[in-house]
Structure 1
Amino acid sequence: MYKFIEKIFTFLYPVFRKWGLGSSFASYLSLIINSIVLCVLAYVIYVIFRLVLVTAMAIVAKKTKTKFDDLLVTNKTAKYIAYLIPFLFIYKSVPIILERFEYWEDIFRPAVGVYIVLLVLWIIRTIFNALRDYFKQIPRYSDKPIDSFIQIIMIVFWMVGVVVIISEIFGIKTKDLLTILGAVSAIVILIFRDTILGFVASVQVAINDMVRIGDWITMDRYGADGDVIEINLATVKVRNFDNTTTTIPTYSLSSDSFQNWRGMLNSDGRRIKRHILIKTSSIRFLEEEELNELKKIQLISDYIDTRKLEIDTFNSSNKIDKSLAINGRNLTNLGLFRKYITQYLHHYPGLNKDMITLCRQLQSTSNGVPLEVYAFSHDKRFENYEYIMSDIFDHIIASVKYFDLEIFEGINESVINK
């Protein structure tokens, strides 16, 4: 191939010399004609290869079942390869055409070489873009940080490309250039600090399966509370539930704390953990008449009978003086209310009874006694979950008065000031 090119572009100069033209004039005339011929040949090669490659790839894409070749067509890989071939022809031809013009050869040959390197990098980029789109269409890879992996690979190729470009421009051997780059590696690390941290974080995220695309994460430091829509080498994009987008540095996922709700979404229920505050002064022992009245509440009727019999037996066997209610064992309105809520939760259809379901009393506070519901809803969708939780607490708040209890309500300071 090289000898064929050499024959084409060395043909004119001897002919012009035989015609009696001067050496300088013959050189410039052959240069002009050879340049025109080179451009025409390069364009013809481009048209031929573009027609062949694009058509061939389109035919193959239609006949094969895989979608990867369709994505190569979409990313115009064949078109860029068709650009590359004539420039390789030009790169081989420039030294022959400019044989008598060393100054111009030192300019044009490196320039064409740099453009070829950039074209090769662009072709590689289109191939990896097609790979990225292909893997994203496969369900088992759709939640993986494919963008990060592609960016890491492309950074490696770009680094190699930059080394080749510098070698081409300055005529430095690649080995010597790598030695120089090793000496300035500290500066490179400083400049590309975020990229390097992002690279390490991306590897950790992928290996430890910390975050996937589609995961619901919460990160208070960055105000993120929503679904992960993109994981790149430098950033992670989160679409918040208010439809805003938060961008988080990728390395923050390994250096800072964040909450991933994937485990909850993959579990059998979403936790309900909320409490009401009962005013301490409203808690008291229950009288016989009150117990008889509360027995009308069906969910705790049997419980009252069983507990009352147990308590009466204990007090009687231990000769407890019941002239004072504090003596012996007694039922309280708060304890009975807690039992009622527990029974109500066990009968509520929206809760998963195979998981923990209880009503518990927390540490007393200056604002009253917290009575907390701890349960799991079957439905994990946000709107349905909120409805279930609100429905439960609507009933609990409305039920408080039947047990002669009061809910603590903070005093409005503006009313006091008046």
Structure 2
Amino acid sequence: MEQLQSFFAEQVPWVQSLIGLALLAAAALAVNYVLKYVILRAAKPWLDQKTQTVDKAAAWLATVAPLLIISRGIVAVPNLPEDLATIITNVAQALIVLSVAMGIVKSLTYANELYERRPESRNRPIKGFVQVVKIIVLCGAAIIMISALIEQSPLLLLSGLGAITAVLLLVFKDTILSLVASVQLTTNDMLRVGDWIEMPSMHADGDVIDISLHTVKVQNFDKTITYIPTHRLVSDSYRNWRGMAEAGGRRIKRSLSIDQTSIRFLSDDEVLELKKFKMLKDHLAGKREEIAEWNARELTGEDSPVNARRLTNVGVLRAYIIAYLKWHARLSTDEFTMLVRQLPPGPQGLPIEIYCFSNTTIWGEYEAIQADLFDHLIAILPEFGLRVFQEPSGMDVREAPAGSGAA
């Protein structure tokens, strides 16, 4: 020790300061190396292997030790100007505050990751609240860091915040709105990760893959990503398909346009021919008995068929569609509405609307069920003497007989 003191005494002051700073830096780096590359690596097998967040949090907290060595040991450096020593101490203390704050932030991130592994996290995400706590921690750290740098009490800075409240409200306007929206979305269970939503105003149509404080990330079906400000999901309207997914059935609502010129009464021979349809036997038998009783009661002594009730091909078609829907194995008949109805006739024919639900919500299967259903119905129309309405195409005009146009 005496030799070391004599060595320092023989050197000029600035050399002594450089040597002292070098030794202090070496000590800080040695402690940093031991903590991060020896102790933390040795402890790694006992840490959570599913994430790197724990390692990052520990690394930030480990940074506090070398910074403490610098802030406490700087006073032992000989011949160092007092102002420079004060600056280094203040900067080291500010960095200590930053390291602790970042360690807390990473720990909050890890806490959210642990929560997201639980089943209830899909219904009650806490990511938005965690981000609010992070903002508070970082804002508090910023105030303490500034106080450490200027050597003033944090209360002095806080007392001046009242004068700039309006500015802060303007700066953090979106954060405040998003916080309120996050609380509403979570409390009212309006949105979950995995929900399929449609929001035309934001060009969003796909699955929610992330809900954060400021934005909700939606992966559209074309694999593009739409970022929606969280507060827009409260102020604007959107459609959430979760109810459909939970119900287990998806609605089929589509019309079959019938050419109105093909609608007519059925003759007795045609009714007998339609009895070959297994699904129409009971309907035709009951309907013919009902019509016969009505005609016998109401048309006594009349011979003109114009006043009699008769079966129509479109009416029998509706009965056939209802029976076919009930028979179809991929349609849900118990829990959901099922009906076949006529819509008002128009220039595009007479719409026969089919309203029912598939027994699956899987998109591909749903589309296949719907296509198979209408494939069959369109193909079966000629059996009832009906045609699908279709506007004339270029081929129809080309095949029209010469001279058939208007003069």
Mark yes or no: TM-score above 0.5: yes
Residue pairs, 1:397-412, within 5 angstroms: 397-411=378-392
1:330 aligns with 2:294: no
Offset of residue 398 of structure 1: 0.9
- Could you tell me how far 1:390 is from its partner in structure 2? 0.3
Q: Judging changes above 3 Å, is the alpha-carbon distance between structure 1 residues 321 and 401 closer, same or farther for their aligned structure 2 residues?
A: farther
User: 1:341: how far off?
Assistant: 0.2
Q: Please name the residue that 2:374 is paired with.
A: 393
Q: Deviations over 1:245-274 (max 9, x none)?
A: 222222111111111111111113121111
> CA 1:166–1:73 in structure 2 vs 1: closer, same or farther (change >3 Å)?
closer
Mapped contact 1:12–1:30 kept (Cα < 8 A): no
Aligned partner of 1:281 among 251, 256, 261:
261
The SS at the match of 1:184 is helix
Q: 1:300 aligns with which of 271, 280, 285?
A: 280
- Whether 1:341 and 2:327 are equivalent positions in the alignment is no
Partner in structure 1 of residue 401 of structure 2:
none
Q: Is the 8 A contact 1:114 1:168 kept in 2?
A: yes
The unaligned stretches of length 5 or more in structure 2 are 399-404
Residues 275, 371 of structure 1: 8 Å contact kept: yes
Displacement of 1:51 in angstroms is 5.7
**Whole-Å separation in 1 of the counterparts to 2:36 and 2:235:** 49
CA contact (8 A) 1:72 1:126 kept: no
| Contact 1:285/1:325 (8 A) holds in 2 | no
Q: Which residue of 2 aligns with 1:317?
A: 297
- What is residue 33 of structure 2 aligned with on the other side? 47
Partners of 1:122 and 1:31 in 2: how far apart?
32
Root-mean-square deviation (CA), in Å? 3.3
Change (3 A) 1:148 1:99: farther
Residue 128 of structure 1 corresponds to which residue in structure 2?
Answer: 108
In structure 2, the residue matched to 1:3 is: none
Would you say the 8 A contact 1:333–1:404 is kept in 2?
yes
Q: In the alignment, is residue 37 of structure 1 matched against residue 17 of structure 2?
A: no
Change (3 A) 1:156 1:377: same
The 3-state SS of whatever aligns with 2:190 is coil
Q: TM-score, normalised by structure 1?
A: 0.84
Alignment of 1:5-404 (within 5 A): 28=14, 31-50=17-36, 53-54=39-40, 57-58=43-44, 60-61=46-47, 67=48, 71=51, 75-94=55-74, 97=77, 101-142=81-122, 144-319=124-299, 323-355=303-335, 356-404=337-385
Please give the TM-score of this superposition, normalised by the length of structure 2: 0.86
Cα offset, 1:74, TM superposition:
5.2
Contact 1:295/1:304 (CA < 8 Å) preserved in 2? yes
AA matched with 1:203: V
CA distance 1:172–1:340, shift in 2 (3 Å): same
Contact kept in structure 1, 2:123 and 2:189, CA below 8 Å: no
1:321-372 deviation line (CA, Å, top 9, x unaligned): 7655552533222211111000000011111121322212223333222211
The code of the aligned residue for 1:43 comes to: L
In percent, how many aligned pairs have the same letter?
Answer: 35
Q: Secondary structure at the match of 1:238?
A: strand
Number of aligned positions between the proteins: 398
Q: Secondary structure at the match of 2:331?
A: coil
How far off its partner does 1:31 sit?
3.6
Going from structure 1 to structure 2, the CA distance change for 1:336 and 1:233 (only over 3 Å counts) comes to same
Give CA-to-partner distance per residue, 1:63-115, whole Å, 9 cap, x none.
Answer: xxxx4x86467533323222111202322333565897332234222322222
Please state whether the residue corresponding to 1:229 is helix, strand or coil: strand
State the alpha-carbon separation in 1 of the partners of residues 376 and 395 from structure 2. Answer: 30
2:234 and 2:240 mapped to 1: Cα distance? 13
Give the distance between the partners of 2:158 and 2:230, measured in 1 at CA: 29
Deviation, 1:382, is 0.9
Q: Is the 8 A contact 1:352 1:376 kept in 2?
A: yes
Shift of 1:384: 0.8
2 CA distance for matches of 1:274 and 1:90? 76
User: Once the two structures are superposed, what CA deviation does each residue of 1:167-212 show, in whole Å capped at 9, x if it has no partner?
Assistant: 2233343222123223212222222322222222222221111111
Give the residue type in structure 1 aligned to 2:358: S
2:234 partner letter: S
Q: Tell me the distance in 1 between the aligned counterparts of 2:50 and 2:289.
A: 79
Structure 1 stretches lacking a partner, 5+ long: 1-7, 62-66
How far apart are the structure 1 equivalents of 2:31 and 2:3? Answer: 22
Q: Output the amino acid matched with 2:27.
A: L
TM-fit CA distance, 1:381: 0.9
Corresponding residue for residue 4 of structure 1: none
**Kept in 1: contact 2:331–2:357 (CA 8 A):** yes
Q: CA, structure 1 residues 99+121, in 2 after alignment: closer, same or farther (shift >3 Å)? A: farther
Distance 1:98 1:254, change over 3 A: farther
Q: Contact 2:330–2:369 (CA<8 Å) still a contact in 1?
A: yes
Deviation at 1:392, TM superposition (A): 0.3
Shift in alpha-carbon separation, 1:323–1:74, aligned structure 2, 3 A: farther
